[in-house]
Amino acid sequence: MTDLALCYMSATEALGRYRDGSLSPLEATKAHLARLDAVEPAINAFMTRDHDSALEEAAASEARWARAAPLGPLDGVTVTVKDLIPQKGRPMRNGSATSSEAPVDADAPCVARLREAGCVFLGKTTSPEFGWKGITDGPLFGYTRNPWNLAHSPGGSSGGAAASLAAGVGHLALGNDGGGSIRIPAGYSGLYGLKPTFGRVPDHPREGAFCMTSTEGPITRGVEDAALMLNTLARPDAGDWYALPWEDRDWSAGIEDGVAGLRIAYAPDLGGAVVADEVRAAVDEAVATFAAMGATVEEVGPVFDPLEGPMTPLWLAGFAATLRGVPEEKRALLDPRFREVAECGLDVTLEQYHGSILHRDRLGSAMGRFHERHDLLLTPTLPTTAPAVETPYHSQGFHRWNHAVPFTVPFNLTGQPGASIPCGLSAAGLPIGLQIVAAKYREDLVLLASRAYERSRTWAWPQGAVERALAAGVPGAH
Q: Is 82 a catalytic residue?
A: yes
Average pLDDT on 173-194 reads: 98
CATH code where residue 451 lies: 3.90.1300.10
pLDDT digits (tens, 9 = 90+) for 343-392: 999 999 999 999 999 999 999 999 999 999 999 999 999 999 999 999 99
In a domain, 477, yes or no: no
pLDDT digits (tens, 9 = 90+) for 244-254: 999 999 999 99
- Among the listed residues 181, 165, 183, 163, the one whose alpha carbon sits nearest the alpha carbon of residue 173: 165
Q: Which of 10, 24, 61, 82 is catalytic?
A: 82
In a domain, 184, yes or no: yes
- The residue range of the domain holding 24 is 4-472
In a domain, 478, yes or no: no
| Per-residue pLDDT at 4 | 95
| Per-residue pLDDT at 476 | 75
Q: Is 367 helix (H, G, I), strand (E, B) or coil?
A: helix
Identity of the amino acid at 20: D
Q: Is 157 a catalytic residue?
A: yes
Identity of the amino acid at 318: G
In a domain, 62, yes or no: yes
Q: How far is it, in rounded angstroms, from Cα 404 to Cα 429?
A: 19
Number of domains within the chain: 1
Q: How far is it, in rounded angstroms, from Cα 275 to Cα 383?
A: 4
Q: What is the pTM of this model?
A: 0.98
Q: Which of 99, 127, 157, 189 is catalytic?
A: 157
Q: How far is it, in rounded angstroms, from Cα 170 to Cα 114?
A: 14
In a domain, 427, yes or no: yes
Phi, psi angles (nearest 5°) of residue 445: -70, -40
Cα atoms found within 13 Å of the Cα of residue 388, Cβ hemisphere only: 5
Which stretches of 368-417 are assigned E, i.e. beta strand? 376-380
| Per-residue pLDDT at 209 | 79
In a domain, 181, yes or no: yes
| Per-residue pLDDT at 208 | 78
In a domain, 451, yes or no: yes
Average pLDDT on 219-244 reads: 97
Average pLDDT on 201-223 reads: 93
In a domain, 421, yes or no: yes
Q: Contact 296/264 with Cβ under 8 angstroms?
A: yes
Q: Contact 181/210 with Cβ under 8 angstroms?
A: no
2 burial class (0-12, 13-18, 19+ CB within 10 angstroms)? middle
Say how many C-beta atoms besides its own lie within 10 A of residue 322's C-beta: 22
| Per-residue pLDDT at 47 | 98
Enumerate long-range contacts of 230-233, CB under 8 Å, 24 or more apart. Answer: 230/194, 230/196, 230/200, 230/201, 230/443, 231/73, 232/72, 232/73, 232/74, 232/113, 232/114, 232/117, 233/110, 233/113, 233/114, 233/174, 233/196, 233/201
Average pLDDT on 26-40 reads: 98
Q: How far is it, in rounded angstroms, from Cα 255 to Cα 408?
A: 23
pLDDT digits (tens, 9 = 90+) for 52-106: 999 999 999 999 999 999 999 999 999 999 999 999 999 999 999 999 999 999 9
Confidence of residue 2 (pLDDT cuts 50, 70, 90): confident
Q: Contact 185/159 with Cβ under 8 angstroms?
A: yes
Average pLDDT on 169-194 reads: 98
Q: Is 181 a catalytic residue?
A: yes
Q: Which of 10, 96, 181, 252 is catalytic?
A: 181
DSSP state for residue 331 in the 8-state scheme: G
Buried-exposed string 32-44: b where 16+ CB fall within 10 A, e elsewhere: bbbbbebbbebbb
296-299/418-425 β-pairing: unpaired
Confidence of residue 188 (pLDDT cuts 50, 70, 90): very high
pLDDT at residue 257 above 60? yes
Which stretches of 242-372 are assigned E, i.e. beta strand? 263-266, 296-299
